[in-house]
Chains A and B, each alone.
Chain A
C-alpha cells in the first residue's frame, strides 16, 4: 500500500490512511454522567477531599525527595494546623486563592438590582490576593516572596516548605508538586523499540505515517460568515481542493477531531419570552419561535460533517459556545441533531474533556490523547498575570499538577462528584490537546525519569480558533510532530484580516518561547490561497 501511493503520476491510486480507536486503559476515567450519577445533592467539598486524598501521597514523596536532605532537616507535618513556630517543616494541602475580584455570591446577593451590574472582570488577580493552604484540619495563610513568582491557582495540591511566623502565617521557602504522572505506554514503547524513533527530534516524517487533523472553533452561525474558509477546509480534507501535493498530504490525514465551539453562541433577542399568549402561538411552528431561533447553523454544520464524515472518521467535542451543558464535563452532543451523518458509525460525539486512544500501522502502541475544548485553561489563565505566564506554561503546569481543571469547582462550574474526581490525570497522555485558544502553540514536555526511572514525554498542543485564524493542525501519530495548514482567502470575510496583522508577531513569539526542538515546521506550513 505504501509504495503505490508515492507514485505521483496518477492520482487515482491515492488511498486514505487509517487509524483505529482502541479502548482506553482501565485507569482512565470516563466523563459520561449517566442517570445513576446525575444527582446534584452532593456537596462540592467531596471533590476537594477526593483530590487531596489521591494526590497527597505523590506530593509527599516528591517533597521528601526534594527536601529531606537539606540542612536543617525539615520534617513533614501531617496536619496543617500543627506547625510549630520557627521550625523548618513542610506541609501538604490544597491551595485556595482568596481574590476579591473573583465572582462572589455574597456580593451578587448584596448588589443593588436597580442599576445594571458591572461586567465581570476579565481576570481575577490583584494586589490584595491571599494564598491559603488547606487540608482536612483547617487552613493556614501562606506568605513570602517565593509566592510572587510561583504559579498558583485554587485547587492545586502542593507541598510547601517553610516555617511559621509570629503572626500565625506560614512563610514559604519552596514549593513542590506531584510531577508528571506515570506513563505506562512509554514503558512499552521503550521496551519494544530498539531505537528511540519516537522521541528523538531527528526523526523525519515518513510518507507512510498517519496524521490526525485537529481543528477548533469553527463557529458556524457567526455573524460574519466563515463559510468560505470552512468550505476550503472541507475541500482540502476530501482531496478535492488544491494540487497534487495537497492531495498527497490530505490522503495521510486519517481522522479529524473537532475540539469544541463548532456552533457560534446564539444571541436570544428576548422577544421569545412572556408576551401575550396569543402572540406566541401564532409565531411558533415546529416548537420554536422562528424569529429568534434559526436552525440554519445546525444544518450547515451537519452538511459540513457529512461532507467530511463520508471520507474520514470524525470525533466531535462540545465547547463553551456549543449547545451542551455549561458545567464540566460537558456531555456528548446528541447524534440525532446532525441528521444524515448520525448513521455513520465512524462519527462519534465525545464528552468534553475526553481521553482517546488511537493506534495505527506505523504506531502499533496506542497513543493516548487527552482533549478538551479549553474552558479549564481559559479559567486558569484568569488567575495569573499574563506577561510572565503564558497559556502554554499553564497547560504544562497542569500536567505537572496532575489535574486537568484545578479551579473546578471554585470558578469553573463542574458536576458534583462524590466518589472520584475524574479530572485527575492518573497516567500522563501522549498528546494533550486544548482547543479554543487564541494562538497556535506547541511544546514537547519531557521528564527524564530521574525519580522513577521511566522517561515520560507528552506533546502539548494549543489549537487556535479556526474562524479567526484559519489554522488547521496536523499531528503525526508516530513521531508526535506537528504541522499547521492555514486557510485564507483574498477578500474573504471571516476576520482573517486581524490575524494577518498578528501573524508576524505570533511567529516571533513562538521563537522566543525557545521551543527545544525543531519539530515544528511552522514556517513550512502550506497556505491555500484562492
Chain B
C-alpha cells in the first residue's frame, strides 16, 4: 500500500507538470481537457483520492495556501492543481507574495472604495495637496487620489514607464517605506484589471506602447 501510494504520488506530480501552467493561463485549457476526454476525467477522479491523502499529510506545512484553495469554490481538478503546485513549490514559501501577484485577477479580493483601511492614506493624500478641491475630478474617487499622490511623490522615483505595483515593489526594495495600504489596493481585482488603478496617471496620454 505505501508503495502504491508512492507510485501514485509520483504520477500525480508528473501529471501536474505536464499541464500548462495552472496559474496564469486561466481555466480554459483544463476545462476543455476535462470536457473533451472522458477517459481523462475518470483518471482525474482516481488521482484525486491519493492527493486528498497527500493533502492531509501536507496540511501543516502549507498553512495559508490551504485557505486560498478552500475559499475558491472550484471543481476537483483545480484543487488538485493547487495541491500539486503547492507540493512542488513548498520550498518557495518566501515567494508567497510574488505568487499572489501572479495569480489570476479574478481571484483577488474586491476593492471597496470606502473601506476604512484606506482612510488614513486618503487623508494624507489630501493633505499633501493642501486639502484643495479638485477641479474636473468628478469621476475620481479617493482611491484615485491616493494612487495619484503616490505617483507624484518624487521620493519613490519617476512614475513614467513603470506600473504602480512595480514602482511600489522597487521603492520597498530600496528601503523607502511606501505605505503598505497602497500595495493592498493594487493587489485587488480592480487594482489589477483597471488601468486607471494599475498604471500611472500619465499612462493614457503618454504611454501607449
Identify which of A42, A137, A419 contacts B161 (C-beta below 8 A). Answer: A42
Complex: how many Å from CA A53 to CA B158?
12
Given contacts A53-B174, A418-B170, A419-B170, contact A45 B160 (CB under 8 A): yes
In the assembled complex, A49 has its CB within 8 A of some CB on chain B:
yes
Closest to B163 in A: A41
- A8 to B: closest C-beta gap in Å: 57
Given contacts A41-B209, A418-B170, contact A46 B155 (CB under 8 A): no
With a cutoff of 8 Å between Cβ atoms, the chain B residues found around residue A299 in the complex are none
- A519 to B: closest C-beta gap in Å: 41
Contact between chains at A46 and B154 (CB < 8 Å)? no
With a cutoff of 8 Å between Cβ atoms, the chain A residues found around residue B174 in the complex are 50, 53
- B175 to A: closest C-beta gap in Å: 9
Contact between chains at A41 and B173 (CB < 8 Å)? no
Contact between chains at B173 and A43 (CB < 8 Å)? no
- A190 to B: closest C-beta gap in Å: 30
- Within B57-71, the residues touching A (CB, 8 Å) are none
Closest to B169 in A: A419
With a cutoff of 8 Å between Cβ atoms, the chain B residues found around residue A43 in the complex are 158, 160-162
Complex: how many Å from CA A134 to CA B174?
20
**Extra inter-chain contacts (5) besides given A42-B161, A42-B162, A53-B157, CB under 8 Å:** A46-B157, A136-B155, A418-B161, A418-B170, A419-B170
Listed in ascending order, the chain A residues whose CB lies under 8 Å from chain B are: 41-43, 45-46, 49-50, 53, 136-137, 418-419
Contact between chains at A49 and B157 (CB < 8 Å)? yes
- B98 to A: closest C-beta gap in Å: 12
Identify which of A42, A136, A418, A419 contacts B154 (C-beta below 8 A). Answer: A136
Q: Which 6 A-B pairs have the closest CB atoms?
A: A43-B161, A49-B157, A136-B154, A45-B158, A42-B161, A419-B170
In the assembled complex, B107 has its CB within 8 A of some CB on chain A:
no
Complex: how many Å from CA A43 to CA B173?
19
Closest to B154 in A: A136
Contact between chains at B157 and A50 (CB < 8 Å)? yes
Complex: how many Å from CA A49 to CA B170?
12
With a cutoff of 8 Å between Cβ atoms, the chain B residues found around residue A42 in the complex are 161-162
- B187 to A: closest C-beta gap in Å: 19
Contact between chains at B173 and A46 (CB < 8 Å)? no
Listed in ascending order, the chain B residues whose CB lies under 8 Å from chain A are: 154-155, 157-158, 160-162, 166, 170, 173-174, 209
8 contacts between A and B (CB under 8 A): A43-B162, A46-B161, A46-B162, A49-B158, A50-B174, A136-B155, A418-B161, A418-B162
Complex: how many Å from CA A418 to CA B158?
10
With a cutoff of 8 Å between Cβ atoms, the chain A residues found around residue B173 in the complex are 419
Complex: how many Å from CA A136 to CA B154?
6
Given contacts A53-B174, A418-B166, A419-B170, contact A46 B209 (CB under 8 A): no
Complex: how many Å from CA A19 to CA B166?
42
With a cutoff of 8 Å between Cβ atoms, the chain B residues found around residue A419 in the complex are 170, 173
Complex: how many Å from CA A289 to CA B46?
60
- B177 to A: closest C-beta gap in Å: 13
Closest to A416 in B: B161
Given contacts A53-B174, A419-B170, contact A41 B161 (CB under 8 A): yes
Complex: how many Å from CA A45 to CA B161?
9
With a cutoff of 8 Å between Cβ atoms, the chain B residues found around residue A45 in the complex are 158, 160-161
Complex: how many Å from CA A50 to CA B175?
12
Residue among A49, A50, A137 with the highest chain B CB neighbour number at 10 A:
A49
Complex: how many Å from CA A356 to CA B113?
52
- A39 to B: closest C-beta gap in Å: 10
Complex: how many Å from CA A480 to CA B154?
45
- A82 to B: closest C-beta gap in Å: 14
- A474 to B: closest C-beta gap in Å: 42
Complex: how many Å from CA A53 to CA B162?
18
Complex: how many Å from CA A419 to CA B162?
10
Closest to B166 in A: A418
Complex: how many Å from CA A137 to CA B154?
8
Complex: how many Å from CA A492 to CA B173?
57
- B176 to A: closest C-beta gap in Å: 8
Complex: how many Å from CA A49 to CA B209?
23
Complex: how many Å from CA A45 to CA B157?
8
- A41 to B: closest C-beta gap in Å: 6
Complex: how many Å from CA A49 to CA B161?
13
With a cutoff of 8 Å between Cβ atoms, the chain A residues found around residue B170 in the complex are 418-419
Residue among B154, B155, B157, B174 with the highest chain A CB neighbour number at 10 A:
B157
- B150 to A: closest C-beta gap in Å: 15
With a cutoff of 8 Å between Cβ atoms, the chain B residues found around residue A137 in the complex are 154
Closest to B207 in A: A41
With a cutoff of 8 Å between Cβ atoms, the chain B residues found around residue A53 in the complex are 157, 174
With a cutoff of 8 Å between Cβ atoms, the chain B residues found around residue A41 in the complex are 161, 209
With a cutoff of 8 Å between Cβ atoms, the chain A residues found around residue B158 in the complex are 43, 45-46, 49
Closest to A79 in B: B154
With a cutoff of 8 Å between Cβ atoms, the chain A residues found around residue B209 in the complex are 41
With a cutoff of 8 Å between Cβ atoms, the chain A residues found around residue B157 in the complex are 46, 49-50, 53
Closest to B173 in A: A419
- B203 to A: closest C-beta gap in Å: 12
